[in-house]
Amino acid sequence: MGQILLTKGQVAIVDDVNHGLLNAYKWHAILNRDTKSFYAARNSPSVDGKRHHIYMAREVMHAKTGEVVDHINHDTLDNRQENLRVCSSGQNNANTRMRSHNTSGFKGVCWHSGHGKWTARLRFDRKLLHLGDFTTALEAAIVYDRAALGVFGEFALTNQMLGLIPANK
């Protein structure tokens, strides 16, 4: 395992096999304001007079235009091949953490004031799927987890995986 120093005091982790090739470039850290995560990137040669970024994870995975590279363990500076996978945008979204504006304390759960209950839902194929209304947020979270595992498979990031639901539930 090798390390590549970035700007802003950040360090990217890469496989030894890729270290020499990647270290030949000058990489910098880019902060994604939505996820509050840093990504390793370098500038591309200007073709159209605009500066473009080449992201290290995409370079490691040889991702084509339209392909998304997912960081399995959510550490966006861990660019080892074992932590990266090429996927669709929907699969990448399934592997996201809980939103910062979440008020239920659980992923996929929100309060439905019209029904006076907690609602479980998830988005799949650009459609919002209603999973049901529940008396407690925990009940809704358990239903969300089961549905997410069924729909998203290996890309699912559940409340239990996030440590929000005990393993025995």
Average pLDDT estimate for 127-148: 97
Query: Token pair 């500076």 is at which residue?
Result: 77
> Between these two residues, 87 and 33, which has the higher pLDDT value?
87
pLDDT at 46 over 80: no
pLDDT at 169 over 70: no
Q: Which domains does the chain have, with CATH numbers?
A: 2-87 (3.90.75), 98-155 (3.30.730.10)
- The string over 24-43, giving b where at least 16 C-beta atoms fall within 10 Å of a residue's C-beta and e elsewhere, is eeebbbbeeeeeeebbbbbe
Report the pLDDT value the prediction gives residue 25, as an integer from 0 to 100: 95
* E strand or H helix at 138: helix 137-152
Residues 6+ apart with CB under 8 A from 56: 4, 12, 14, 22, 27, 39, 40, 41, 42, 79
How many percent of the chain have pLDDT more than 90?
Answer: 76
Whole-number average pLDDT of the chain = 93
pLDDT at 101 over 90: no
